[in-house]
Amino acid sequence: MPWSWPAAADEFGRYLSIERGVSPRTHEAYLRDLEEFRAGFAARRGRAPEPRRIDVPEIRAHLAALHGRLDAASIARKLSSLRAFFRFLVRRGERDDNPAALVRSPKRKRALPRALNVDDTCHLVESAGAAVADPDGPLGIRDRAIMEVLYGAGLRISECCGLDLEDVQRQGDDAALLEIRHAKGRKHRLVPLGGKAMLALDAYLAVRATLAHPKTGAQDPAALFLNARGGRLTPRSIQVHMGKDVAASGVPDATPHALRHSFATHLLDGGADLRAIQELLGHASLSSTQVYTKVSLDHLMSVYDQAHPHARGKKP
C-alpha cells in the first residue's frame, strides 16, 4: 500500500536520525520544510498531498508561493529538503523519480564571510570576560579561554560546546591538539592549539572545579566548558556572553562565526596553504574554503590602496 504523506514524513524522519545521523536542528529543519509543503499543497488543492503523485509543477508552485517573503538562499534550502525527501522515496521504492531534482534552484548571491582585522580580533579576544561581574573570577577566566579557543582553532560554536576534557591532547607545555568529534557532518579532525590559547585554557582548567551546582556540587564530568551551575555550556550561552564582550570592546559585528572566518583569513594572509586551511576548518569541499581567497584579496587591495603612493592617483 502506498505511503500517505504523514507515513512518508515519519519514515523520512527516522531515516535522517538513524541512517544519516543528522543533528537535531537539521532534522527539525527538514521536517519543518516538508510540513510547509504539505500545508501549502492542502491550501491550494483542498486535500492532502500524495507522495507518489507530486509532480514538477507542484514543486514549482510551492516555490513560487515562497517568493517575495523569503530570500533565494532560504528557498534553495527548502528545495534541497524536498529533493532529499523524494530521493529517499525513490530509494524505498515509493517513487520512480525525484520531481524536485528537475526544478532549478533560484540564483543566489553568495555573501562573503565577515572577517575581523588582526587588531580588532586581538583586542576582542584579549578583553574577553570583561563584561561579567568579576572578570578575574571563574566565569571571566572561562570566557577568555572560550574566545581564545574559538579563534585559535577556528572552531564552530557547536564544536566548542561539544569539546570534552579528553579531547585536549597536550603536545608539550605550550601546545595541544584538539580532537573535534562533534563536527558538522560527523567529520572527525584534529586541530592544533597554540601557546596563547593554551595559557588561557590552563587558567580556566585551574578554576573549572569551582563551576558546580550551588546545592549539590554536581558538574558534568566530561564537558570541557561548563556553565555556572556545572552543566555543559550551550551555543546560545556562548553567544550571549560573547555579545556582552563585543559590546564592551567596541569591535563591530563580531560573532563566534566571525572569529572562525578571521582564523581562516589570517592564516591565508600569513601564507598558509588552502588545503591545510580546508583540513583545519573541516570543510568537505575545497570550494567552501576558496571563498577566503576573495576575502584575503579584498583585504590586500585595501592595504595597497591605503599604502601605495600611486594607488588611485595618489601623489608621492
CATH number, domain with residue 141: 1.10.443.10
For residue 4, give the DSSP letter: P
* % of the chain surpassing 70 pLDDT: 88
CA atoms within 13 A on the CB side of 316: 1
User: Is residue 242 pLDDT above 60, yes or no?
Assistant: yes
| Residue 55: all three cell numbers together | 509532480
Residue 311 inside a domain? The answer is no
Strand partners, 6: none
Cβ-based neighbours of 77, under 8 Å, separated by 6 or more: 29, 33
CATH number, domain with residue 9: 1.10.150.130
| Residue 278 domain boundaries | 118-306
Site of grid cell 534553495: 76
User: Is residue 87 pLDDT above 70, yes or no?
Assistant: yes
- Which position among 184, 196, 232, 299 bears the catalytic label? 184
Same domain, 230 and 204: yes
Q: What is d(CA 16, CA 20) in angstroms, rounded to the nearest whole number?
A: 5
Residue 112 inside a domain? The answer is no
Cβ-based neighbours of 29, under 8 Å, separated by 6 or more: 77, 81
| Residue 269: all three cell numbers together | 594572509
Residues 201 and 148 sit within 8 Å (Cβ to Cβ): yes
Residue 184 known to be catalytic = yes
Residue 156 known to be catalytic = yes
Residues 262 and 115 sit within 8 Å (Cβ to Cβ): yes
Kindly list the distances between the CA atom of residue 103 and the CA atoms of 33, 56, 57, 70, 76, in Å, as whole numbers in the listed order.
16, 7, 9, 17, 10
- Whole-number pLDDT of residue 292: 64
Same domain, 164 and 274: yes
Same domain, 152 and 79: no
Same domain, 13 and 79: yes
Residue where one domain finishes, among candidates 102, 133, 155: 102
Residue 294 known to be catalytic = no
For residue range 174-232, list pLDDT tens digits in order: 788 899 987 766 678 888 888 899 999 999 999 999 999 999 999 999 999 999 999 99
Instruction: Output the pTM of the full model.
Output: 0.62
Same domain, 61 and 171: no
Same domain, 144 and 53: no
Same domain, 92 and 131: no
- Which position among 208, 260, 261, 266 bears the catalytic label? 260
State the pLDDT confidence band at 316, using cuts at 50, 70 and 90: very low
Q: What is d(CA 314, CA 316) in angstroms, rounded to the nearest whole number?
A: 6
- 3-state SS assignment for residue 121: helix
Residue 244 known to be catalytic = no
- Whole-number pLDDT of residue 294: 63
Residue where one domain finishes, among candidates 102, 135, 164: 102
Same domain, 61 and 97: yes
Residue 315 inside a domain? The answer is no
Same domain, 85 and 140: no
For residue range 251-289, list pLDDT tens digits in order: 887 888 889 888 888 888 888 888 888 888 888 777 767
Residue 185 inside a domain? The answer is yes
Chain-centroid distance of CA 292 in Å reads: 16
Cβ-based neighbours of 119, under 8 Å, separated by 6 or more: none
Residue 299 known to be catalytic = no
Residue 212 inside a domain? The answer is yes
Residue 236 inside a domain? The answer is yes
Calculate helix-pair angle for 24-45, 56-66, nearest 10 degrees. 100
- Which position among 83, 156, 241, 266 bears the catalytic label? 156
Same domain, 94 and 134: no
For residue range 28-48, list pLDDT tens digits in order: 999 999 999 999 999 999 999
Residue 38 known to be catalytic = no
Burial of 13 (0-12, 13-18, 19+ CB in 10 A): middle
Same domain, 140 and 95: no
Instruction: Tell which residue, 120, 141, 159, 123, has the closest CA to residue 200.
Output: 141
Residue 92 inside a domain? The answer is yes
Same domain, 158 and 69: no
